[in-house]
Structure 1
Amino acid sequence: MKHLIILFCFTFVAFAADKTAVIKYRGCGITKKAYMKELAAAFTKKYKVEVSIEGGGATKGIRSANDGEVDVGGSCRQCLFGSDAEKKVKLHPVAWDALAIIVNKNNPVKSITLQQLKDVMLGKVTNWKDLGGEDKTLHFFKRNGKISGVGRMARELIFMDVDIDFVATQSFKSSGPLEKAILKDTYGIAVTGISSARKRDVKVLGLDGYELSKENIMKGKYPLYRPLYLVTNKKPTKLAKKFIKFAKSKAGQKIISDQGTVNLREGKKLWPVYRKAMKALEKKYKKKK
């Protein structure tokens, strides 16, 4: 009887510990909207482990994991070249996103070229008539900072220059307020992530003749694609390992795809071109330094 009581107590304590286990996640809003909420719900249902989700941006996601403040971070950019604040993390790619050019749904323009986008972001184009639209002043909205998820990836993918400055009508602290500003401004234009943009009532412009669709991301036809990452410390917690494994599993990848996000299998052909571009950018950065 004594042994049974001890066994019961051990089982109860183990069950209670499992019930109170929590994975702490912090990261960018685009990653959260791409798949994180759904992955977390499915993980909790399967393993009875809660997942607390906090925003804060890609930089905070990476650096919180670096400092051991969270089990898992979320990011829509890679680590900064040579950054001591981000050297203790491991990035786990789990999906693909793309930078989206968004405008108000009442704007008649449907597509622009990559060169036109560059000219807008550098302040060389300031009127919609130069993009095939109305003779109205163009308002370019941008994210604050050069190392935010969208800010950094816009510089990497569009300009291959991480230090370039943009000329904007207004700057925003995060993607949410920026996207909401487009809803209110017929002549506004901005760059954000498609995983976030598709949840807003905005128009997503085509680029170089290609619509920003899941299929065009998968095939690499839409050019501004980028990986989405879960981030752990190089010495991850057991719960972090378990969550990463689930995210990369067949079930986890199906959840990601079901959200309209390109999963790893669907985007496997994107890696060679993307890696080549990032290696060239890193080489350029090191040479510049």
Structure 2
Amino acid sequence: MKLKKTFLTVLTLAFTLSLTACGTKDTATTDSNTSGTDKPALSGSILASGSTALQPLVDQVGKKFMDKNSGVSIQVQGGGSGTGLTQVSGGQVQIGNSDVFASEKIKDEAAAKALVDHQVAVVAIAAVTNPEVGVKSLTKQQLVDIFTGKITNWKEVQGKDVKIAIINRPSSSGTRATFEKFALGTKTEDLKGSIQEDSSGTVKKLVTETPGAIGYLALSYIDDKVTALQYDGVDANVDNVISGKYPVWAYEHMYTKGEPDASTKAFLDYFMTDEVQNGDITELGYIPFSKMQVKRDVEGNVTK
């Protein structure tokens, strides 16, 4: 009798241990599957500074990214491409936004090579005037003569008898570098009486409000408040940039110092998604890489 009772006790204990073991195994499997499929939540702060031509895009995409990733905070500042490149090189920001290649602004070769280039879009830039000047198109030479002070009145280029007021960008500006390189073909000195502004938004405001004003803006800033001039008879529009007919354009770069951290990388990767490339980029007047029929190297040479 005692032997039978002992046997039943052992059998019951073995059964209980078996059930416990099975339960533990199922729980472990579930936990393993969950941790294997769920990505850890992104967190941290990202500060981007630099190009004001690129700023509207980075700002809009940044807000959408934060909506999808509540643990990430993104701040976007202007200051010009040179400022953005200097600050990312110095470690003050995570991203330096630029309209030009880093080597064009950072002369220290080692410092420039330490930056990783993330090209997110193409931007086109056009000369713009106050709508009252009465001019719709300028040649390359006429633009050069205006920005070097040889032409000082709009009547000299079939416009109204109004003195030309130049609204320029500072030397740190990537927009200025792009305009001088591809529209003028030469660097220019700052003329006495010209106005310098480091914000594309302010340039647009001044051109709108100043009689006889001329400046230059990314297409993303242009509306009916200013007149976008033809360049050698070619309209500054997306189709002409894509085909290579309109030459005043550049890549939009978002530089990091070395490889980015997880949150910054995810943000940069988000720019290359179909949602952004065929959504925000085209909506704001930029051009996706995939649509370009021509390419441009760091020297400015264009190839098909």
Indicate the residue corresponding to 1:104 in structure 2: 130
In the aligned structure 2, how far is the partner of 1:276 from the partner of 1:83? 14
In the aligned structure 1, how far is the partner of 2:93 from the partner of 2:160? 48
Where structure 1 has 5 or more consecutive residues not aligned to the other structure, the ranges are 281-289
Aligned counterparts, 1:78-117, within 5 A: 78-81=101-104, 83-84=107-108, 86-117=112-143
The CA deviation at 1:222 is: 1.6
Q: Deviations over 1:132-176 (max 9, x none)?
A: 10122212221122x3212222232234445x4243532323133
One of 244, 250, 261 as aligned partner of 1:237: 261
In the aligned structure 2, how far is the partner of 1:202 from the partner of 1:51? 31
RMSD: 2.8
Q: Does 1:67 align with 2:90?
A: yes
Aligned counterparts, 1:186-205, within 5 A: 186-198=211-223, 201-205=225-229
Aligned counterparts, 1:203-218, within 5 A: 203-218=227-242
Q: Deviations over 1:172-192 (max 9, x none)?
A: 231333222111122111123
In the aligned structure 2, how far is the partner of 1:21 from the partner of 1:277? 37
In the aligned structure 2, how far is the partner of 1:46 from the partner of 1:30? 25
In the aligned structure 2, how far is the partner of 1:19 from the partner of 1:79? 28
Kept in 2: contact 1:141–1:169 (CA 8 A): no
Aligned counterparts, 1:12-161, within 5 A: 18=41, 21-33=44-56, 35-48=57-70, 49-81=72-104, 83-84=107-108, 86-145=112-171, 147-161=172-186
Higher Rg of the two aligned structures: 2
In the aligned structure 2, how far is the partner of 1:246 from the partner of 1:259? 16
One of 172, 185, 203 as aligned partner of 2:196: 172
Where structure 2 has 5 or more consecutive residues not aligned to the other structure, the ranges are 1-23
Kept in 1: contact 2:124–2:286 (CA 8 A): no
Q: What TM-score results when the alignment is normalised by the length of structure 2?
A: 0.77
Indicate the residue corresponding to 1:275 in structure 2: 297
Matched letter for residue 83 of structure 1: K
Kept in 1: contact 2:162–2:211 (CA 8 A): no
What percentage of aligned pairs have identical amino acids? 24
Secondary structure (helix, strand or coil) at the match of 1:245 reads helix
The CA deviation at 1:101 is: 0.7
How many pairs are equivalent? Answer: 263
